């Protein structure tokens, strides 16, 4: 039986699309059984629908508290019965209960060479520090912020004329290669 993948995303879903395409090409011997999103306007929903992948929306603002949102998210994930959860542009910190439930079964893509530049605005951090090389990291999610065990990394040279946007665009190209490869692994 094919492994069951659930992707969790908040936005446009370009990394999700890279996973979809890798699944369609047979690069990943699995099935994406659901997209879970906290954003009912996420473009990732259109990508899921186009690929025939069920969508589960768990709206943060509809919850009375962070705890109730996390409980609703955990229930949604449990119903999907994933073998692997892929955070692909999910813009929230995953709660401890979910991290514990899916220890070593949840991965994340981050636009920096961790452990450098964890958290938000990784490209800005790289530029401010004057690094010559940055990139992206796929890692297991643990209870630390972008600190779980690294699965793989891809490097991107920082150009003298880079700004946040140009650097982010080049890193994203590498993310689209790295995330499907990590899922396959």
**pLDDT score, position 148:** 96
Residue indicated by tokens 């993948």: 5
Sheet arrangement for strand 106-110:
55-57, 30-37, 3-9, 84-87, 106-110, 133-140, 150-157
92 and 125 part of one domain? no
**pLDDT score, position 36:** 98
64 and 136 part of one domain? no
Domain that holds residue 170: 110-185
Picking from 102, 127, 156, the residue at the C-terminal end of a domain is: 102
Q: What is the pLDDT of residues 42-95, one digit of tens each?
A: 999 999 999 999 999 999 989 999 999 999 999 999 999 999 999 999 999 999
CB 136 within 8 A of CB 178: yes
Say whether 121 is catalytic. no
Picking from 75, 102, 129, the residue at the C-terminal end of a domain is: 102
Integer angstrom CA distances of residue 138 from 114, 120, 148: 9, 16, 9
State the pairing for strand pair 106-110/133-140.
Answer: antiparallel
Picking from 102, 123, 141, the residue at the C-terminal end of a domain is: 102
Q: Which helix (H) or strand (E) holds 72?
A: helix 66-80
Q: Which of 110, 121, 129, 176 is catalytic?
A: 110
């Amino acid at each position: 039986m094919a492994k069951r993948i659930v992707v969790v995303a908040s936005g446009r879903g370009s990394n999700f699309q890279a996973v979809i395409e890798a699944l369609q090409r047979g690069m990943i011997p699995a099935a994406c059984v659901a997209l879970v999103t906290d954003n009912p306007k996420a473009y990732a929903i259109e990508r899921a629908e186009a690929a025939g992948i069920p969508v589960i929306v768990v709206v943060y603002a509809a919850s009375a508290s962070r705890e109730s949102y996390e409980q609703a998210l955990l229930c949604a994930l449990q119903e999907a019965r994933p073998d692997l959860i892929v955070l692909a542009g999910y813009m929230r910190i995953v709660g401890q209960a979910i991290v514990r439930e899916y220890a070593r079964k949840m991965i994340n893509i981050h636009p920096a060479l961790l452990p450098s530049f964890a958290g938000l605005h990784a490209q800005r951090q790289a530029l401010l520090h004057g690094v010559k090389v940055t990139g992206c990291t796929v890692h297991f999610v643990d209870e630390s912020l972008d600190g779980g065990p690294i699965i793989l990394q891809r490097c991107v040279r920082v150009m003298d004329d880079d700004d946040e946007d140009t650097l982010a665009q080049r890193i994203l190209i590498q993310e689209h290669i790295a995330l499907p490869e990590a899922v396959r692994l």
